[in-house]
Structure 1
């Protein structure tokens, strides 16, 4: 079944694990916890690698483990993140890592985006085998 999920999430924890200054850039590693509302309900833990510059443009990549329900179907899956910003424009994409779905989410695939505007909003277009 092809469908879309939308909703919001709250960042419930941020733990900086490492920072390294390089010429022209600062590299970091952090662990983030989130709580999801909307079509996704549950919690997640994300590890991200970040880069920032003195002028502000930044980027990150990450891997997120979600546990909860997607449109009422319970299980877990992993999301791969990529994001960047430049000249005030930002984009944040995520993709479901194939073969990571468990429980009622086995076989889940898809991709989506995150938008930060009055909180964190997500969209996720996905395919899930019929139950």
Structure 2
């Protein structure tokens, strides 16, 4: 049965070097550090790769993040992967649990996450299943 978790999170994004420019695109790498609250009380750590073009509103990113803590009282960790694109003002984001990455009480976790930014504050919605 699918369960739902939500809450706020804080994120710190630290570039790990200067962007590399090739043609019309800047390529960058960023360290992600997050603090989740609400139903998911955890820390997140990961790496993000970006490609930002010189056309305003056209970009893409991928990221891998490890989340460690408790999800509705169950302890463990799992990994998620992000894929995001922007084109002509349209945004698309997919965030999913990496299959077989769950540990301890979160072993076997599967699911998808969405993010919202409201008045500068970040929020997550997480639909997941556990065996």
Question: How much is the aligned-residue C-alpha RMSD, in angstroms?
Answer: 1.3
Tell me, what secondary structure is at the counterpart of 1:33? strand
Give the Cα separation in 1 of the matches to 2:81 and 2:2: 20
Change (3 A) 1:92 1:117: farther
Kept in 2: contact 1:92–1:115 (CA 8 A): no
Normalising by structure 2, what TM-score? 0.91
Query: Shift of residue 59 of structure 1?
Result: 1.2
Deviates more, 1:86-95 or 1:75-84: 86-95
Unaligned runs of 5+ in 1: none
CA deviation digits over 1:32-73, x for unaligned, max 9? 100001111111102000011122221100000001111111
Give the Cα separation in 1 of the matches to 2:96 and 2:53: 26
Give the Cα separation in 1 of the matches to 2:74 and 2:10: 21
Match of 2:113 in 1: 112
Normalising by structure 1, what TM-score? 0.91
- Structure 1: which 4+ aligned runs deviate by more than 3 Å? none
Match of 2:74 in 1: 73
Query: Shift of residue 88 of structure 1?
Result: 2.6
Match of 2:28 in 1: 28
Match of 2:43 in 1: 43
Query: Shift of residue 28 of structure 1?
Result: 0.4
Match of 2:130 among 120, 128, 131: 128
Report how many aligned residue pairs link the two structures: 128
CA deviation digits over 1:97-117, x for unaligned, max 9? 011100110010111211222
